[in-house]
Chains A and B, each alone.
Chain A
Amino acid sequence: MSDVVAAVEDLHVRFPVRTASGKREVRAVDGVSFEITHGETLGLVGESGSGKSTTGLALLRLVNPSAGTVRILGEDVTSWPRRRLRALRRQVAMVFQDPQSSLDPRHSIGSSIEEPIRVHRLRDGTSARRARVHELLEQVGLPADAAARHPHELSGGQRQRVGIARALAGEPDLIVLDEPLSSLDVSVQAQIMNLLRQLQDDLGLTYLFISHDLAAVAHMSDRVAVMTSGRIVETGPAVEIYEHPRHDYTRALLAAIPPDTPAEARGRRANAEHRSPA
């Protein structure tokens, strides 16, 4: 199965928490397994507290698994020591939720995008690196002069494009996108989704798309995993999940998707009243 980019098996992530009643343990991820094959988008959908973000972080070892295994391109990275993690973080890149806070305000855009190239020595010499930065800017639809600007000079959508360019800079095998649309204006979200799909087609990218927005996940993903309370309750092709949900929680999530039209909203309310005259 050399086609598998990431394989997670029975992953557990637990955090110790100190409360008024003594030390407790929060099971953020409680036994999660999935695989991502090359070129596909796996959508990880769940509400806040479901553990989906923590799962994404575990793939880069930004949080450490308490149990279970994480395999990237066949290699078990679960217990890799710190000095080997740099290599892992070239293979797996992350796009963060808030493009404003994920870019160092004191660094220029070019400097932020160049960082992975420099750290992993992917290009030799300043001019080669700069050329690569311009190449990346073009791929994400930003003009070349963006490199000299600073984050506060760009709009939210532009900043997220920078975040994507930075993720691409390391030439990763897997990109984890953690709620990449949530901080963006609605009219810009569609742009970014189109960009991500186009890049995937052009460059053969593999995505783990984490989001609470069911419609966005449906649009972006080939397969979907539904998560709640640290566990995956259902996995399958996106179409299957949305049209024939099997688990109660999946059904509840789908039912909560806001209505598309006022007529639909009224219909739902009428149904709800019929069912429970309380």
Chain B
Amino acid sequence: MTTSPTEFSEPVAVAAGNAPAGRPSAASARDVARVLLRRPLALGGLVWIGLMVVLALFGTLIAPSGENDVDVPHMLQGPSGLHWFGTDELGRDVLSRVIIAAQPSLEVSVVSVGFALVAGVLLGLLAGYYGRFADSFIMRCMDILFAFPVMLLAIAIVAVLGAGIGNAMIAIAVVYTPIFARITRASVLSVREDVYVRAAVSIGVPDREIITRHILPNVAGPVIVQTSLSLGFAILTEAALSFLGLGVQPPQPSWGGMLYEAQGFMQQAWWMAVFPGLAIVLTVLSFNLVGDALRDVLDPRRRTQLEAAARP
């Protein structure tokens, strides 16, 4: 035995000024929870998203009426004790429709962003790690997609494939893949130069394993943040597609579709547009707030600043 086993003294505090150069400690789930709890807005956003998820799963059970319970004699009635959000031009309860419409909105958003995430991260990993030809080819393809305004591209894809909820998901997935690819690639480029990656290469770890075990976990942060933001935007995009009649098809209710139907009745029945609109706004806002909070936790540089500045 050479020197006696060294005791575990805490390393020099990552206190302001003494922070070691390089990445600070990786964020843990506990850190994430702590940051979220400290920000009322982000917390509110999280609660709202949770509520939407519940509605998406159990909407039909929760809603007071069915989504297509037509009741023409009571059409175009304002908010009342019976109908909290009023009724539309067919006498349907707007509240119930808003609740039930949560499901397709969230479903489209989650599924399409899910696909974009998987495809984009994969492409970004390949482009960033292998570089040169793979990088050029993949990123030029992404650049082509980026060149189109999101809505235009989504509309074009749906126009080619035909209207419907499934095709809307495909369109949104395609349109959101490039941002994930770009973000992943940027992170990979920076992580690839880190010494521990070189150390893994020096050990003889095969490329596939280096990517999955060392690079992927260290690029997860920005990707998670982007996921949260994209979920919000996907809801907007879906709403727009449905508004144009290209996404969720009636009689299945969707927030965008409800906006479309409300157009002709703006003067007489403002509640037909306002409540679905509010649902869209609050949901998108919530995703953004949570995404911002996550960014503060998961972006290594911001965390050092926060750790330094925080604490009364």
Contact = CB atoms under 8 A, between A and B. Distances in A.
Direct contact of A and B (CB under 8 A): yes
Contacts of B204: 85-90, 116, 119-120, 170
A100 interface: yes
Interface in A131-174: 138, 141-143, 146, 149-150, 152-158, 161, 166, 170
A153 B6 contact: no
Contact of B2 (A86, A100, A194): A194
Contacts of A96: 195, 198-199
A141 B196 contact: no
Contacts of A116: 203-204
Contacts of A191: 3
B3 A195 contact: yes
B129 to A, nearest CB: 14
Contacts of B9: 155
Contacts of B214: 104, 107
Contacts of B160: none
Given A62-B201, A105-B23, A115-B205, A158 B196 contact: no
Interface in A72-100: 85-90, 93-94, 96, 98, 100
Interface residues of B, number: 35
Contacts of A157: 6
A133 B4 CA distance: 18
A157 B3 CA distance: 12
B198 A141 contact: no
Contacts, number: 108
Q: How big is the A interface, by class?
A: 35 or more
A164 to B, nearest CB: 11
Given A142-B5, A143-B5, A101 B22 contact: yes
A158 B11 CA distance: 10
A66 interface: no
Interface string B20-39: 10111110000000000000
B8 A153 contact: yes
A119 B203 CA distance: 8
B153 to A, nearest CB: 36
A166 B8 contact: no
Given A60-B202, A141-B4, A98 B218 contact: no
A195 B8 CA distance: 18
Contacts of A166: 199, 203
Contact of A101 (B11, B26, B195, B202): B195
Given A101-B22, A150-B25, A152-B25, A86 B206 contact: yes
A100 B22 contact: yes
B6 A102 contact: no
Interface of A: 60, 62, 85-90, 93-94, 96, 98, 100-107, 115-116, 119-120, 138, 141-143, 146, 149-150, 152-158, 161, 166, 170, 191, 194-195, 198-199
